[in-house]
């Protein structure tokens, strides 16, 4: 036969020795291949020639391959890597299953730990609030609800006064608005003096209510006069009924403070009381809603919904009030005689903006809190209004 040659194998064109092969016999030819520098994958071709017994010649082509030519290090790496790859394929699925099981068990353990910790914290809070609930309920019924009621009635009577077209008919709601406004201030000072302030479940809520109260109190002291208002509050009995308050106001000849407060309030009712409406409505809405939180750990189920729509609307009204005060402040600074009024407006803008910032943060926290719990309204046993 004849030899063969490829680009990556050494020269093999030497003639192979002639070999006689009997009929139906086989012959084995061994050829040693030596790789060259060019690596790759090749097919080799061998051409065989032989003469049969009758003297006729024959030619056949034999294709051998493919033959791979590697670098020495690559061949060793393949020789070492193929068994490892085979082993990896055999072990891959069991390892993945074991790893997945381990991670799942770790996740379950963390989940159980978090649940246990949450349950412990809830149990601790529930125990704490169960112990505090009698005091909280006492403060709510004795101080918080009367304060909220007085503020709400003041706003209601102001609304009735605005709607009344007859000047004579407006005297009744105007005097009632004065009574409930003074009563609101009286109840707020009672909270401060008797229990040290309003204590709710959230410190942020307390700060927001304090900011709203600060604006209302400063306005009332500015308009009605600090000393005269203090005198009226000192002489006013707690839970004093409206008829008694008005009777004392009309018949007292020596109570000039009360007369001055009534006269200033009457003049201010048509010029400035409107500024208190939005802060007072926010105060009433938020205070009423937040009073229910301690009862979460008592009833385990609460049905009072978060008044989001009311608070959003009041927030817009508050922003309008701030913008109005800011515009008035800019106008006052342009007047020669507007310095003192500008200072009042500046203080009003600052206090209202502080309340607005606290309100914005409160709305985020309250909405998140409302999605986690449901509420039940407090059964408020408020005293009937005396008329």
Mean pLDDT by 10 residues, the chain (387 residues): 47 60 73 68 74 76 72 57 61 74 86 85 71 83 94 95 70 91 95 89 91 96 94 87 85 76 91 94 95 73 79 96 95 86 94 96 89 49 40
**CA distances, 11 to each of 4, 38, 65 (Å):** 8, 14, 17
Is the pTM for the entire model greater than 0.75? no
Write down the pLDDT at residue 230. Answer: 93
Neighbours of 232 (CB within 10 A): 25
**Alpha carbons 131 and 297: distance in angstroms, whole number:** 11
pLDDT at res. 386: 41
Give me the half-sphere count of Cα atoms (radius 13 Å) on the Cβ side of residue 232: 29
How confident is the model at residue 377, as a pLDDT? 38
Integer angstrom CA distances of residue 58 from 23, 29, 52, 208 = 15, 18, 8, 109
Question: What does the angle CA 225 – CA 288 – CA 304 come to, to the nearest 5 degrees?
Answer: 165
**CA 277/CA 289 separation, integer angstroms:** 18
Burial 144-181 (b: 16+ CB within 10 A, else e): bbbbbbbbbbbbebbeebbeeeeeeebeebbbbbbbbb
* Contact criterion met (CB below 8 Å) for 254 and 387: no
- Here the contacts of 187-192 (C-beta below 8 Å, separation 24 or greater) are 187/143, 187/146, 187/147, 187/150, 187/238, 188/147, 188/213, 188/217, 189/233, 190/143, 190/238, 191/143, 191/144, 191/147
What's the token pair of residue 315?
Answer: 């927030």
* Cross-strand bridge partners of residue 67: 42
């Amino acid at each position: 036969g004849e030899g063969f040659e490829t680009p990556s194998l050494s020269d093999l064109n030497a003639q192979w020795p002639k070999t006689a092969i009997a009929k139906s016999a086989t012959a084995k030819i061994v050829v040693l291949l030596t790789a060259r520098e060019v690596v790759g994958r090749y097919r080799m071709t061998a051409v065989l020639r032989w003469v049969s017994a009758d003297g006729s010649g024959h030619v056949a082509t034999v294709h051998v391959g493919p033959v791979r030519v590697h670098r020495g290090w690559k061949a060793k790496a393949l020789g070492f890597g193929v068994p490892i790859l085979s082993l990896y394929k055999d072990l891959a699925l069991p390892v993945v299953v074991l790893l997945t099981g381990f991670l799942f068990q770790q996740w379950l353990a963390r989940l159980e730990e978090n649940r246990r910790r949450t349950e412990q914290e809830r149990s601790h809070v529930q125990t704490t609030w169960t112990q505090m609930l009698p005091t909280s309920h006492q403060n709510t019924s004795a101080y918080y609800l009367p304060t909220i009621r007085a503020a709400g009635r003041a706003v209601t009577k102001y609304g009735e006064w605005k709607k009344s077209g007859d000047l004579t008919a407006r005297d009744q709601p105007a005097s009632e608005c004065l009574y409930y406004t003074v009563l609101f201030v009286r109840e707020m000072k009672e909270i401060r003096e008797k229990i040290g302030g309003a204590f709710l479940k959230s410190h942020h809520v307390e700060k927001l209510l304090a900011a709203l109260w600060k604006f209302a109190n400063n306005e009332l002291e500015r308009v009605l006069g600090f000393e005269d208002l203090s005198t009226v509050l000192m002489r006013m009995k707690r839970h004093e009924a409206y008829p008694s308050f008005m009777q004392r106001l009309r018949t007292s000849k020596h109570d000039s403070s009360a007369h001055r407060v009534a006269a200033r309030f009457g003049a201010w009712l048509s010029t400035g009381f409107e500024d208190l409406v939005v802060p007072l409505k926010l105060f009433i809405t938020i205070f009423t809603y937040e009073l229910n939180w301690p009862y979460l750990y008592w009833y385990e189920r609460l049905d009072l919904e978060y008044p989001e729509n009311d608070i959003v609307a009041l927030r817009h009204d508050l922003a309008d009030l701030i913008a109005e005060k800011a515009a008035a402040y800019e106008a006052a600074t342009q007047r020669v005689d507007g310095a003192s009024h500008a200072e009042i407006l500046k203080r009003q803008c600052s206090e209202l903006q502080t309340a607005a910032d606290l309100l914005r943060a409160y709305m985020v926290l309250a909405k998140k809190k409302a999605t986690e719990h449901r509420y039940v309204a407090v059964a408020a046993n408020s005293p009937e209004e005396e008329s």
